[in-house]
């Protein structure tokens, strides 16, 4: 089951990402290349698959979703340990 993404998590990640969207997206590319290269490859392949869509917008949405789920999962893990 996927973790619950709370409003606090969304606010945190959106404020982080939207300070400088281009830099954040580029940082996420590098981060995912190290943390989960298969997911990074999948994001880039899907984004490149259809030339009528904006590659950067698709990637940004996917990276935001990944980060939201990652933080929510970490928070769930911390709750279980307590």
Statement: residue 52 has pLDDT above 70 = yes
Q: What local confidence, expressed as pLDDT, does residue 49 receive?
A: 79
The residue written with tokens 């400088």 in the block is 20
pLDDT per residue over 35-46, tens digit each?
999 998 998 888
Cα-Cα-Cα-Cα dihedral sign, residues 66, 71, 72, 77: positive
**Per-residue pLDDT for 47 more than 70?**
yes
pTM attached to this predicted model = 0.84
């Amino acid at each position: 089951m996927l973790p619950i993404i709370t409003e606090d998590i969304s606010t945190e990640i959106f404020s982080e990402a939207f300070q400088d969207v281009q830099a954040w997206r580029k940082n996420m590319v590098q981060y995912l290349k190290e943390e989960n290269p298969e997911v990074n490859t999948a994001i880039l392949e899907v984004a490149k698959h259809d030339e009528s869509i904006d590659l950067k917008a698709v990637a940004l949405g996917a990276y935001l979703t990944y980060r939201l789920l990652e933080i929510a999962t970490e928070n769930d893990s911390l709750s279980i340990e307590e």
